[in-house]
Amino acid sequence: MDFLRPDTLAEALALKAQRPDAVPIAGGTDVMVELNFDHRRPAALLDLTRIAELRSWDADGDNGDTVRIGACVPYTRIIEELGERLPGLAMASRTVGSPQIRNRGTVGGNLGAASPAGDTHPVLLAADATVEAASTRGTRLIPATDFYLGVKRNALEPDELITAVHVPATRAPQQFSKVGTRNAMVIAVCSFAVALHPAQNRVGAAVGSAAPTPRRASAAEEFLSAELTSTNQWESPKPLLDSVKRRFGDLVAEAASPIDDVRGSAAYRKHALSVLARRTLGWAWQDYSGKVA
């Protein structure tokens, strides 16, 4: 095995082009588990932790309205530094692993592993995030919606590295919730994120750990967006009808295609998702109503 230690992004991209079989490693919280248990023996490890440009975030876009988070920024920094601008992502980051894991783990790694249970995926989907991928051929932006292709499979080409994720900054409410047996160190049994987009009269919603990939609950998004818009509630929000919350929860559950496994049954996951959807929507809407009033 080779251990490749680039100091710059340009070097890293050149190495990845020469060695597409090299496995990128940042926080190591996924890759090292596979190595420790001999589940994987890559030809090379490509250490990204020495590359300064991957360890910073900045607000880009015309009005600083999008936050570009370098692939190697750990969860702890997202929680501490971006909680106000990216409430949903910070919330999901707080639920990752333990303090030690959050000190090392990164959104870039979550995207690279593309586990259906990754905690940040539902938020990235609901918040319209974009994944920045680079190679010696250039840089491209992949909408999160198009990024997840299958269980632990993503849209990266073999010579590409994830360099950043772009997440629209917002003051509008976002919520994330997940089900697990305890607060720390839990792989989600199922998870859910909702993001209100009042400027577009739209709601984003996505499920995790309940299908081969994280995925948007499109029918639920469309139902709720239409309902809120047709009743003029973006301008003058009222308490949501139970029937609306219930329908939203049902549509979220329908978006999932979970399996039975050691963490929970498919039927349980669907039920839990409908509960998470109703609950998180209730929180987000209460928050929104308070802000508009």
Partner 1 sequence: MRVNVTVNGEPRQADDVWEGESLLFLLRERLGLPGSKNACEQGECGSCTVYLDNTPVCSCLVAAGQVQDREVRTVEGLADGDRLDPVQEAFVEAGAVQCGFCTPGLVVAAHDLLDRVPQPSDPEIREALAGNLCRCTGYEKILDAVRLAATRKAAPRGSGAQESGSR
Stretch in the footprint of partner 1 (CB under 8 A) among 1-9, 14-22, 229-237, 280-288: 1-9
**Among 222, 268, 276, 231, CA closest to 249:** 276
Q: What is the enclosing helix (H) or strand (E) of 193?
A: strand 190-197
Helices 242-255 and 266-292, packing angle to 10 deg? 130
Contacts of 238 (CB under 8 A, 6+ apart): 231, 289
**CB of residue 103 to partner 1, shortest distance in Å:** 5
**Between 12 and 195, CB nearer to partner 1:** 12
R_g of the chain, CA atoms, integer Å: 19
**Between 57 and 285, CB nearer to partner 1:** 57
Q: How many residues bind partner 1 (CB under 8 A)?
A: 31
Q: Pick the binder of partner 1 from 18, 98, 181, 200 (CB under 8 A).
A: 98
Between CA 272 and CA 274 the distance in angstroms is 5
**Between 76 and 274, CB nearer to partner 1:** 76
**CB of residue 111 to partner 1, shortest distance in Å:** 18
56 part of the interface to partner 1, by CB under 8 A: no
262 part of the interface to partner 1, by CB under 8 A: no
**Between 26 and 125, CB nearer to partner 1:** 26
Question: Tokens 């586990």 label which residue?
Answer: 115
Interface of this chain with partner 1, residues 13 to 42, rule: CB under 8 A: 25, 27-29, 31-33, 35-37, 41-42
Q: Is 187 exposed, middle or buried (0-12, 13-18, 19+ CB in 10 A)?
A: middle
Biggest CA pair distance of the chain:
61
Q: Output the six-digit token pair for 169.
A: 């900054």
Q: Pick the binder of partner 1 from 8, 18, 100, 136 (CB under 8 A).
A: 100
**CB of residue 98 to partner 1, shortest distance in Å:** 2
Handedness of CA 117, 120, 123, 129 (dihedral sign): negative
By CB under 8 A, name the binding residues for partner 1. Answer: 1-3, 5, 25, 27-29, 31-33, 35-37, 41-42, 44-45, 47, 49, 76, 97-101, 103-104, 183-185
